[in-house]
Amino acid sequence: MKALITGGAGFVGSHLAEVLLADGHRVHVVDDLSTGSIDNIVPFKAHREFHYEIGAVTDVPLMTDLVDEADVIFHLAAVVGVKLAVERPVETLETNLNGTGVLLKLAGRKKKRVLIASTSEVYGDGPDQPLREDAPVLLYPTVKSRWSYAWSKAIDESLAMAHWTQRGLPVIVARLFNTVGPRQTGRYGMVIPRLVHQALAGEPLTIYGDGAQSRCFAYVGDVARGLADLALCPEAAGQIFNVGNDQEVTINDLARRIIRATGSSSPVTHLPYGQVYGEGFEDMRRRVPDLTKIRRAVGYRTTKDLDDIIRMVADHARRG
């Protein structure tokens, strides 16, 4: 199989490239390096079946050739996460909407199989946890830039599904929940690399909010395996799948476990959301995926628990 990964020099994309190469597939990556890095692809850059282009997913001539060559496309290129959504809502919306628009249009010409990476953010603060794929997508006021990421991904999903229902394009939507592991940068606010960095530096671990909010953290290698398997599952076309881990932890407990795993003597402090992201910032209290659907479809399973993941992230951070 010839796979194209947009955003393949990013965190999840680079792990997905590794999984696909190990499975014997050919991998072509396109990435504009806006948040990704060449360092992420160094481990397999010299692999015979690996190729990459530095470029934007909205570059139609470039993408036309890359999409034509591919058997399957994993569309991961995006402006990712809450911090960038708050600070750069225009880029978040433009990159995510225009990139997905170009990609689906090009894939549609030759009916190429496409997996679109979406996010658990589209569930908003859904009351019925664990969250199933048929739960309502909750959208929030457009005046709050914090929600621009969720809006962009919800519309990406809707456009993908429209290509499936109206034109028969085999699309799969994967809603990733918090995905963590080596190579994830803490620069854009992602909590585990940020707190691990603080613990290793002997700085206070800064928790946003009261820390009683909980999340479920999945190992990136498990998520990448799930994405690769979904893309090859014929019955997955036209469907939406949660991908993640369903073990829930509060952020206060996460900080304690990071301190224990790193042997740090850092204290823990709490910062009000308003101080970090501006007044009126809202976040979800819980976000637990129901993984029944992906388990049934592709036998998805998780192989690492949170303490394993923290150790791997800390080892990676220590190596610099």
Instruction: Provide φ and ψ at 207, rounded to 5°.
Output: -100, 130
Residue 214: its H or E element: strand 214-216
Look at residue 116 and give its three-state secondary structure: strand
User: In DSSP terms, which residues pair with 3 in a beta bridge?
Assistant: 27, 72
User: In DSSP terms, which residues pair with 179 in a beta bridge?
Assistant: 218
Cβ at position 302, least distance to ligand NAD in Å: 14
b/e per residue, 106-125, with b = 16+ CB within 10 A? bbbeeebbbbbbbbbbbbbe
Cβ at position 30, least distance to ligand NAD in Å: 6
Q: Residue 183, class by beta-carbon neighbours within 10 Å (0-12 exposed, 13-18 middle, 19+ buried)?
A: buried
Position among 25, 28, 36, 228 found at the interface with ligand NAD (CB under 6 A) = 36
The active-site residue, picked from 149, 188, 208, 300, is 149
Residue found under tokens 């530095």: 54
Interface region with ligand NAD, contact rule CB under 6 A, candidates 136-144, 173-181, 260-268, 297-305: 173-181
Taking each helix axis as running N to C, give the angle between helix 191-201 and helix 251-262, from 0 to 180 degrees, rounded to the nearest 10: 40
Q: Does residue number 7 form part of the binding site for ligand NAD (CB under 6 A)?
A: yes
Q: Does residue number 182 form part of the binding site for ligand NAD (CB under 6 A)?
A: no
Q: Does residue number 129 form part of the binding site for ligand NAD (CB under 6 A)?
A: no
Query: Could you give the C-alpha distances from 284 to 124, 147, 216, 233, 281, in angstroms and in order?
Result: 7, 12, 12, 32, 11
**Residue of this chain nearest to ligand NAD (CB atom):** 36
Position among 77, 107, 258, 298 found at the interface with ligand NAD (CB under 6 A) = 77
DSSP label at 146? G
Position among 21, 29, 63, 117 found at the interface with ligand NAD (CB under 6 A) = 117
Q: Does residue number 82 form part of the binding site for ligand NAD (CB under 6 A)?
A: no
Indicate the residue among 34 and 206 with the shorter CB distance to ligand NAD: 34
d(CA 178, CA 122) in angstroms, rounded, equals 13
Interface region with ligand NAD, contact rule CB under 6 A, candidates 2-10, 230-238, 266-274, 276-284: 2-10
Q: Does residue number 10 form part of the binding site for ligand NAD (CB under 6 A)?
A: yes
Look at residue 240 and give its three-state secondary structure: strand
Quick check: is 300 catalytic?
no
Residue 18: its H or E element: helix 11-22
Cβ at position 200, least distance to ligand NAD in Å: 21
Q: Does residue number 92 form part of the binding site for ligand NAD (CB under 6 A)?
A: no
Q: Does residue number 100 form part of the binding site for ligand NAD (CB under 6 A)?
A: no
Interface region with ligand NAD, contact rule CB under 6 A, candidates 56-64, 202-210, 259-267, 305-313: 56-64
Position among 35, 92, 148, 264 found at the interface with ligand NAD (CB under 6 A) = 35
**Assigned token pair, 261:** 């795993």
Residues involved in catalysis: 149
Name the residues that contact ligand NAD, by CB under 6 A: 6-7, 9-13, 30-36, 56-58, 76-80, 95, 99, 117, 119, 176, 178-179
